[in-house]
C-alpha cells in the first residue's frame, strides 16, 4: 500500500496529462480539419469561378463577332474580320485563334477554292482534310457540304488550318451540327488541333452559327446556315490563363462529362510544374477520399461551356491534408506532461532522499548513542579503578586495565571513522587522495589493529604482498580493516583468516577468506546496506556499517566488490582496485 501511495502522484499526473493532451489534440484536430476544409472549398470555388469566367469571356467574344456579321448583313471581308478580332487575340493569351468558316456546297467548291487561292496568294489552292493513316493534310474528298476555315487571326503558327474542312472530322462535325440546329454556341469534345505540334496537348473548338436570315424552326436553321464563327483553344492555355492570378497548391483533373468515358480526360493540372498535361504516364487514379473533402462530391465542381459539362476533380496535396497543428498540439502536450512528470519524479526522489537521510541520521544517532556507551563505560570504569587502586593493583592488572581502555578507544575511533566516511560520502564530500603505498609495512600496521580471538591466525599470501600500489591510504585502510575485523569477529576461535593480494596488469586484487558463520542467500542483496545485519549474527555485537563502508571506499576507487559465501560457513570477499601505471 505504501508503494502504491508513493507512485500515486506520478500516475495521477500522467493520467491527467494524457487526458488533457488527447482532449486538446482532438479539439485542435477538429478545428484544423474544419478550417482546412473551409479553406479548401474556398480555393476550389475560386478556381472553378476563374475557369468559368474565362470560358464565359470566350463565348461572349464569339457572340460579339456574330453581332458584327449581323450588323454588316453578313458582308465581312478578311481585312475587317482581322481588324475586329486582333485586339481580342492579343489581350487573351488563352485564345489560339479566331476563325470564320463558311458552309460550302459541292457545286460551290471550285469557285471557293479559286477564291481561297487568291486570298492566300496561291498558298492554299484546295479544301483539305487530315489523312487518317499519315496524319498529313490532303485534298478533301467529295461530299455534299464543306466548312473550310477561311478567315484566320493570328495567321502565324495557325497557317495549316487555312482551308481545312471542319466537317471532315466527326468530333468537329457533331459540334457544328449542334450549333446549327440549336442556334446556340456549341463546343467540341477534345481534339488534336490541326496546327498543334505537341501530341500530348488537347484542344477544343467553340462554334457560333451565322444564318442568312432570322430563323424560327429547325428546318429554317438547317437551310439558312451561312457559316460559323469559331474560337480555337488549347486546354493548357485556357487553364493557365485562368489561374495566372491564383497561387494554390491543388492539382486537378478536367473531364468532359458529355464525351465517352475513354474521351473524357482533357488535361491534368499539376502545381509542381504549374502546367497542364495529358501525358498518359502522368495521369494517376482519381483520389477524392481526402480529409479536406467531407464527401467525395466536395472535391468535384462543374462548369458549362458550349452545351457541354466539364467536371473539375480536385486532388489536395499531401501538405494540405497533413494536420500540422494537431501534431504540434500532441507533441507539446506530451512534452509538457513529460516535463511535469520529470519535475515530480525529481521532487519525489529528493523527498525520498531527504527521508532516507533523516532516517539515516536517526539510526546513526541511535546507534552511536548505543555503541559508544559501551566503550565509554569500559574506559570510565577502568579509569576509575586505576585511579582508586593504583597502588594496590599489580603491574599485570594495571596493564590489563590500560589494555581495555586502549581497545575501547580504538573501537570508538573506528566507529567514528566509519560514520564520518558514510556521512561524507552521502554528502559528496569524501575526499580521494591517492598515493604510493608499500603494502608490506601498510599491512603490518593494519594487523596491529585487528583483535583476534583465542587461537585465531591471520595469514597473508599472494604475488603482491611486497609490492607498491597507487591508492588512497585512508580509504584502503578502511576497506581492509573492516573486512579483516568482520572476518575475526564472525569466525570461531582457533580458525585461520587469509588475506590474499594479487597484482595483475590493470588491477590489484585483495581477497579476505574466513571460516565464519557465512551469509544467508536471501540476505546477500541487502548485506551492503548501512546498518543491516544478518539474522544469523546471534549475540555478536556490531553496527552494520562495515560492508557499507567497504562498498563506499571501493566505489570511490572505481573498483569492484564481490562476495561469495556459504550458508554453512565461510565467506570470501574480493576487492578489485584499478592499478595506475
At 30-50, the pLDDT tens digits run 787 788 778 888 888 999 999
Helix orientation angle between 439-447 and 473-490, rounded to the nearest 10 degrees:
40
Confidence band of 566 (pLDDT split at 50, 70, 90): confident
User: Rounded to an integer, what distance in angstroms lies between the CA atom of residue 327 and that of residue 320?
Assistant: 14
The alpha helices in 193-268, defined as continuous H runs, are: 218-223, 235-242
At a CB cut-off of 8 Å and minimum separation 6, what does 551 contact?
Answer: 528, 561
Element holding 41 (H helix, E strand): helix 2-71
Three cell numbers written together for 541? 555485537
- Alpha helices by DSSP H, listed for 314-438, are 318-321, 324-389, 395-427
Taking a C-beta distance cutoff of 8 angstroms, is the pair 316, 302 a contact?
no
CATH class of the domain comprising 431-581: alpha beta
Residue whose C-alpha cell reads 495521369 in the numeric block: 283
Which element (helix H / strand E) includes 230? strand 225-234
Q: What does the pLDDT read at residue 283?
A: 44
Classify domain 72-231 by CATH number. 3.30.450.350
Strand, coil or helix: what is 434? strand
The C-alpha atoms of residue 86 and residue 200 are separated, in whole angstroms, by 28
* CB atoms closer than 10 angstroms to residue 375: 19
For residues 177 and 516, what is the distance between their CA atoms, to the nearest angstrom?
Answer: 118
Angle at 492 between CA 486 and CA 496, to 5 degrees: 75
Higher pLDDT residue, 247 or 484? 484
Residue 377's pLDDT band (cuts 50, 70, 90): low
**CATH says 363-429 is which class?**
mainly alpha
pLDDT at 458 over 90: no
pLDDT band at 281 (very low <50, low <70, confident <90, very high): very low
**pLDDT at position 342:** 83
Question: What number is the average pLDDT over the span 184-197?
Answer: 86
Mean pLDDT for 200-204 is 86
Count CB-CB contacts under 10 A for residue 265.
18
Which residue has cell 485586339?
87
Q: How far apart are CA 160 and CA 192, in angstroms?
A: 13
Q: What is the DSSP-derived secondary structure letter of residue 520?
A: -
Alpha helices in 243-323 (DSSP H): 318-321
C-alpha distances in Å from residue 182, one per residue of 55, 57, 178, 210, 320: 19, 21, 6, 12, 44
User: Are the C-beta atoms of 488 and 452 separated by less than 8 Å?
Assistant: yes
Q: Which residue has the higher pLDDT, 275 or 530?
A: 275
Looking at residue 247, the DSSP 8-state letter turns out to be -
**Mean pLDDT value across the chain:** 83
Question: Given this model, what pLDDT does residue 224 score?
Answer: 94
Which pLDDT does position 26 carry in this prediction? Answer: 84
Kindly tell me if the per-residue pLDDT of 108 is higher than 90.
Answer: yes
Asked if the model's pLDDT at residue 286 lies above 50, the reply is no
Query: In which residue are the cell numbers 569492484 written?
Result: 560
556: pLDDT confidence band, cut at 50, 70 and 90?
confident
Q: Quick: pLDDT tens for 14-33.
A: 788 788 888 888 887 778 77
Q: What is the pLDDT of residue 376?
A: 64
For residue 50, the model assigns a pLDDT of 92
Q: What are the domain boundaries of the chain? A: 72-231, 325-354, 363-429, 431-581
* Residues 317-334, mean pLDDT to the nearest whole number: 73
Query: Please, which residues bridge with residue 191 across strands?
Result: 203
CA atoms within 13 A on the CB side of 413: 9
Residue 261 DSSP class: G
Single out the residue of 190, 360, 157, 332 nearest to residue 265, CA to CA.
Answer: 190
pLDDT of residue 313 exceeding 50, the answer is yes
Residue from 150, 78, 153, 82 nearest 114 by CA: 150
Amino acid at each position: 500500500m505504501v508503494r502504491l501511495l508513493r507512485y500515486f502522484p506520478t500516475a495521477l499526473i500522467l493520467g491527467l496529462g494524457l487526458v488533457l493532451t488527447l482532449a486538446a489534440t482532438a479539439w485542435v484536430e477538429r478545428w484544423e480539419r474544419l478550417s482546412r476544409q473551409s479553406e479548401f472549398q474556398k480555393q476550389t470555388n475560386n478556381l472553378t469561378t476563374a475557369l468559368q469566367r474565362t470560358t464565359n469571356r470566350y463565348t461572349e467574344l464569339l457572340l460579339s463577332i456574330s453581332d458584327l456579321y449581323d450588323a454588316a448583313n453578313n458582308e465581312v471581308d478578311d481585312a475587317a474580320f482581322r481588324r475586329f478580332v486582333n485586339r481580342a487575340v492579343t489581350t487573351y493569351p488563352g485564345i489560339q485563334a479566331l476563325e470564320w468558316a463558311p458552309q460550302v456546297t459541292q457545286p460551290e467548291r471550285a469557285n471557293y477554292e479559286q477564291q481561297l487561292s487568291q486570298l492566300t496568294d496561291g498558298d492554299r489552292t484546295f479544301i483539305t482534310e487530315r489523312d487518317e493513316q499519315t496524319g498529313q493534310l490532303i485534298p478533301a474528298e467529295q461530299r455534299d457540304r464543306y466548312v473550310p476555315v477561311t478567315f484566320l487571326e493570328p495567321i502565324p503558327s495557325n497557317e495549316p488550318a487555312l482551308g481545312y474542312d471542319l466537317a471532315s472530322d466527326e468530333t468537329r462535325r457533331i459540334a457544328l451540327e449542334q450549333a446549327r440546329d440549336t442556334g446556340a454556341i456549341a463546343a467540341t469534345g477534345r481534339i488534336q488541333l490541326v496546327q498543334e505540334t505537341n501530341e500530348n496537348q488537347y484542344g477544343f473548338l467553340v462554334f457560333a452559327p451565322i444564318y442568312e436570315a432570322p430563323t424560327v424552326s429547325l428546318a429554317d436553321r438547317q437551310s439558312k446556315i451561312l457559316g460559323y464563327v469559331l474560337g480555337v483553344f488549347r486546354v493548357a492555355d485556357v487553364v493557365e490563363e485562368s489561374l495566372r492570378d491564383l497561387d494554390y497548391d491543388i492539382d486537378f483533373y478536367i473531364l468532359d462529362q458529355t464525351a465517352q468515358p475513354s474521351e473524357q480526360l482533357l488535361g491534368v493540372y499539376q502545381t509542381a510544374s504549374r502546367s497542364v498535361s495529358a501525358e498518359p504516364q502522368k495521369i494517376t487514379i482519381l483520389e477524392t477520399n481526402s480529409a479536406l473533402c467531407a464527401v467525395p462530391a466536395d472535391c468535384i465542381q462543374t462548369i458549362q461551356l458550349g452545351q457541354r459539362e466539364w467536371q473539375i476533380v480536385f486532388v489536395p496535396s499531401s501538405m494540405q491534408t497533413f494536420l500540422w497543428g494537431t501534431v504540434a498540439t500532441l507533441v507539446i502536450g506530451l512534452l509538457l506532461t513529460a516535463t511535469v512528470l520529470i519535475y515530480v519524479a525529481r521532487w519525489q526522489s529528493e523527498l525520498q532522499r531527504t527521508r532516507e537521510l533523516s532516517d539515516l541520521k536517526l539510526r546513526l544517532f541511535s546507534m552511536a548513542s548505543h555503541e559508544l556507551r559501551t566503550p565509554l563505560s569500559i574506559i570510565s570504569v577502568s579509569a576509575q579503578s586505576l585511579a582508586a587502586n593504583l597502588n594496590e593493583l599489580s603491574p599485570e592488572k594495571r596493564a590489563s586495565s590500560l589494555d581495555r581502555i586502549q581497545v575501547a578507544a580504538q573501537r570508538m575511533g573506528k566507529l567514528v571513522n566509519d560514520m564520518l566516511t558514510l556521512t561524507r560520502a552521502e554528502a559528496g564530500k569524501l575526499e580521494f587522495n591517492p598515493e604510493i603505498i608499500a603494502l608490506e609495512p601498510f599491512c603490518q600496521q593494519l594487523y596491529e589493529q585487528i583483535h583476534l580471538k583465542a587461537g585465531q591466525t591471520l595469514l597473508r599470501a599472494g604475488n603482491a604482498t611486497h609490492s607498491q600500489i597507487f591508492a588512497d591510504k585512508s580509504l584502503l585502510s578502511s576497506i581492509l580493516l573492516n573486512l579483516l575485523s568482520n572476518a575475526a569477529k564472525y569466525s570461531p576461535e582457533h580458525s585461520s583468516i587469509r588475506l590474499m593480494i594479487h597484482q595483475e596488469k590493470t588491477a590489484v586484487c585483495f581477497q579476505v577468506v574466513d571460516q565464519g558463520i557465512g551469509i544467508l542467500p536471501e540476505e546477500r542483496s541487502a548485506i551492503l546496506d548501512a546498518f543491516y545485519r544478518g539474522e544469523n549474527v546471534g549475540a555478536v555485537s556490531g553496527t552494520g556499517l562495515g560492508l557499507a563502508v567497504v562498498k563506499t571506499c571501493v566505489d570511490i576507487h572505481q573498483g569492484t566488490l564481490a562476495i561469495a559465501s556459504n550458508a554453512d560457513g565461510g565467506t570470501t570477499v574480493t576487492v578489485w582496485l584499478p592499478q595506475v601505471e
